Chains A and B, each alone.
Chain A
Amino acid sequence: MPLFILVRLFTVLPVLFGVSVFVFLLVHLAPGDVTSTLTGPMATPEARDAIRVKLGLDKPLVVQYAIWFGHLLEGDFGTSWVHRRSVIEMVLPKFLNTAILALSAALFAYIIGFLAGIFAAARRYSVTDRVVMGGTLVAGSTPLYWLGLVLVFLFALKWRLLPATGMVSVVDGGGFVDVLRHLILPAVTSSLPSGAIVARTTRATMLEVLGQNYIRVARAKGVPVRTILRKHALRNALPPIVTVAGMELGYLLGGVVFVEVVFAWPGIGNQLYASIIGRDIPTVQGAVLLIAMAFVLINLAADVLNVYIEPRTRAAVTGHRP
């Protein structure tokens, strides 16, 4: 394995350790008696103490962390206080649903953002450019939960074209087309901010590249604009766009919580929300841990990918020239 990937992998380990500490401390940040979820409000102090001992909450913090972390390494995320089930068994399938939603949204954002950015850059200061740039500003200020509801009103309630909530139909549901129909509205909603960022990045880098001397030379030689855009500009504008696109996939995992709640998409964001409302702390921890791990790994993958596209950045990662 190339050195830069190894180096970058090692930097992930302390970050993941930090993540585990943060997630562990969540239990202790919660105000009041965390055991009240399990015992109910009418429990005797003795019953509360018994639960406390059973959960190991009477031990010193460091010992608690060591035990919890040991279980984590074995893939044991604890037991849900509400459903009395293994957290990992509950959360993992939900995470797959979120992955379906986030990847579709990312794909949509990349395509729309990339095309919009190129169009805007190719016709700088034109009406198209202004509309695209104005659109990205509005997109960046739009609350996703609100956009989701507006789309539900238009496409599900008014025009009855698409289902409003869920992932599969109750009757005869579960087929590919059925899931796809349920996927469209939430995916479009979550793609909005990322699409805007990709569009702005694409436009900015394209404009930068188009101002370079070799583009001027190509134009002077009489190369058609279309060929200049495709062969000279795009290829050189790609690395920063790919970096941003990779990071955006990670950020999608944050915004997706609101979208999943609005559309009742059975993903990890919806699960996290339900667990927060139900004060089911082990499940909150499991969901947060899983999202954070995915976030860290996506950023890692984006870095590695970027190094392959743009070998010059290798030096920045390893501190040595390649």
Chain B
Amino acid sequence: MTAELAGRAELPVAPRRTSGPIARLRHGWRAYAKDKAAVAALLLLVVVALASLFAPWISPHDPVEAVANRNAPPGSEGLLLGSDGDGRDVLSRLLWGGRVSLLVGVLPTVLAMLISLAIGVVVGCFRGWVDQIVMRALDMFFAFPLVLVAIVVAGILEPGLLTIIVAIVVALVPYITRLVRTTTLSVSGQAYVEAARAGGADSFAILTRYVLPNTLPPVIVYTTTLIGMMMVLGSSLSFLGLGVQPPTADWGLMVAEGRTVLKKAPHVTLFPGLVIIVVALCFGFIGDGLRDALDPRARRR
């Protein structure tokens, strides 16, 4: 009886759910595919991700060993994108660097989303003093520009990949948590949640079956649009020397290394920056497409 009531209460808000997960996916993809830029961005990103993943097999040279004269311009010495200040192949370093840079964009952002979902949904559902304490504590972070929090946290810890990840997670959690909480509050005030409660559903069922599924779409969209920004931020931290350390290849670090030979070999600085821009743009377009697919109520301006 309870389950039946709950199912009915759900119908008017999420009719797609009744047609099964595969139909929902197809429906979502159709909405996503309407956005040609989002499709192109997804394809490009898949190519970049695969190229980085298979870097050990497809990169023409070793990323950390000198293979040519220093500062060879693109196209010379058999190197498509030239060599850097240490005579290393720029193309190979870009391919290997993609592994670190993509990881730094995706992993901390997704981690921050999971942590924020846990905090936001719990405080949004139970409210009261727990909510007050958590939100006031997070308010503290809004007194700093996000970038500054990341720089300071990364600066205080020992430099390394883990440090950038921690720094970005710490900087992001307050922002995503704020969104999760407001969404949770508005969802749990909806009539269908009321109806489920009236039908005798317990808090856990309400949380997992009604609140969470309806909180997820806007949070996933927001997180996706953040990935590109966080990749840029992570590369900035590596540029400052607070993140990945040489001789590891990382796009931000490559720009930093290019800086020392900027006059003689500007291509060493130019290429990694262009790659960062293109990949960050891809994440932006994918976020837009996801918004159309997952969150049709939020109209794009």
For the complex, give the distance between the alpha carbons of A18 and B138 in Å. 9
Instruction: Report the minimum CB–CB distance from B247 to chain A (whole Å).
Output: 20
Please tell me if A137 contacts chain B, counting CB pairs below 8 Å.
yes
Instruction: Report the minimum CB–CB distance from A289 to chain B (whole Å).
Output: 10
Chain B residues with Cβ below 8 Å from A16 are 143
Q: Is the CB of B263 within 8 A of A140?
A: no
Please tell me if A143 contacts chain B, counting CB pairs below 8 Å.
yes
Additional 15 contacts, C-beta under 8 A, given A16-B143, A276-B155: A15-B143, A19-B140, A19-B144, A26-B152, A29-B157, A141-B277, A141-B284, A145-B256, A146-B272, A149-B258, A149-B262, A150-B269, A153-B269, A254-B146, A254-B148
Interface residues of B in 134-149 (CB under 8 A from A): 136-137, 139-148
* Interface 0/1 of B54-96, CB less than 8 Å to A: 0000000000000000000000000000000000000000000
Chain A residues with Cβ below 8 Å from B142 are 15
For the complex, give the distance between the alpha carbons of A26 and B148 in Å. 13
Q: Is the CB of B145 within 8 A of A14?
A: no
Chain B residues with CB under 8 Å of chain A are 136-137, 139-148, 151-153, 155-158, 228-229, 232, 235-236, 239-242, 252, 255-256, 258-259, 262-263, 266, 269-270, 272-273, 276-277, 280-281, 284, 301
Chain B residues with Cβ below 8 Å from A145 are 236, 239-240, 252, 255-256
For the complex, give the distance between the alpha carbons of A144 and B233 in Å. 10
Please tell me if A6 contacts chain B, counting CB pairs below 8 Å.
no
Q: Is the CB of B152 within 8 A of A18?
A: no
Contact of A29 among B148, B156, B270, B276 (CB under 8 A): B156
Q: Chain B CB within 10 Å — which of A21, A149, A272, A295 has the most? A: A149
Interface residues of A in 294-317 (CB under 8 A from B): 295-296
Contact of A137 among B137, B141, B240, B284 (CB under 8 A): B284
Chain B residues with Cβ below 8 Å from A291 are 144-145, 148
Q: Chain A CB within 10 Å — which of B242, B258, B269 has the most? A: B269
Q: Is the CB of A144 within 8 A of B240?
A: no
Chain B residues with Cβ below 8 Å from A273 are 151, 155, 240
Q: Is the CB of B239 within 8 A of A143?
A: yes
Chain A residues with CB under 8 Å of chain B are 14-16, 18-19, 21-22, 26, 29-31, 137-138, 140-147, 149-150, 152-153, 157, 204, 207, 250-251, 253-255, 257-258, 261-262, 272-273, 276-277, 284, 288, 291-292, 295-296
Which A residue's beta carbon lies closest to that of B273?
A: A146
**Could you list some 5 contacts between A and B, CB below 8 A?**
A26-B156, A137-B284, A142-B232, A145-B239, A149-B259
Question: Assuming the A-B contacts A253-B145, A257-B151, are A143 and B259 also in contact, with contact meaning beta carbons closer than 8 angstroms in the complex?
Answer: no
Q: Is the CB of A258 within 8 A of B236?
A: yes
For the complex, give the distance between the alpha carbons of A291 and B152 in Å. 12
Contact of A153 among B151, B263, B276 (CB under 8 A): B263
Q: Is the CB of A258 within 8 A of B136?
A: no
Could you tell me the dominant secondary structure of chain A's interface residues?
helix
For the complex, give the distance between the alpha carbons of A153 and B242 in Å. 24
Chain A residues with Cβ below 8 Å from B262 are 149, 152-153, 157
Contact of A15 among B139, B259, B269 (CB under 8 A): B139
For the complex, give the distance between the alpha carbons of A257 and B281 in Å. 23
Chain B residues with Cβ below 8 Å from A272 are 151-152, 155
For the complex, give the distance between the alpha carbons of A143 and B259 in Å. 14
For the complex, give the distance between the alpha carbons of A204 and B157 in Å. 41
Question: Assuming the A-B contacts A153-B266, A255-B147, are A31 and B280 also in contact, with contact meaning beta carbons closer than 8 angstroms in the complex?
Answer: no
For the complex, give the distance between the alpha carbons of A63 and B85 in Å. 52
Contact of A146 among B229, B263, B269 (CB under 8 A): B269
Instruction: Report the minimum CB–CB distance from B41 to chain A (whole Å).
Output: 11
Q: Is the CB of B148 within 8 A of A288?
A: yes
Contact of B143 among A143, A251, A257, A296 (CB under 8 A): A296
Q: Is the CB of A141 within 8 A of B281?
A: yes
Contact of A143 among B137, B145, B252, B301 (CB under 8 A): B252
For the complex, give the distance between the alpha carbons of A143 and B235 in Å. 8
Query: Which 9 residue pairs of A and B lie closest in terms of their CB atoms, listed nearest first?
Result: A254-B145, A18-B140, A254-B147, A276-B155, A146-B273, A141-B280, A204-B301, A254-B148, A19-B143
Chain B residues with Cβ below 8 Å from A138 are 277, 281
Question: Assuming the A-B contacts A277-B241, A291-B144, A295-B144, are A143 and B263 also in contact, with contact meaning beta carbons closer than 8 angstroms in the complex?
Answer: no
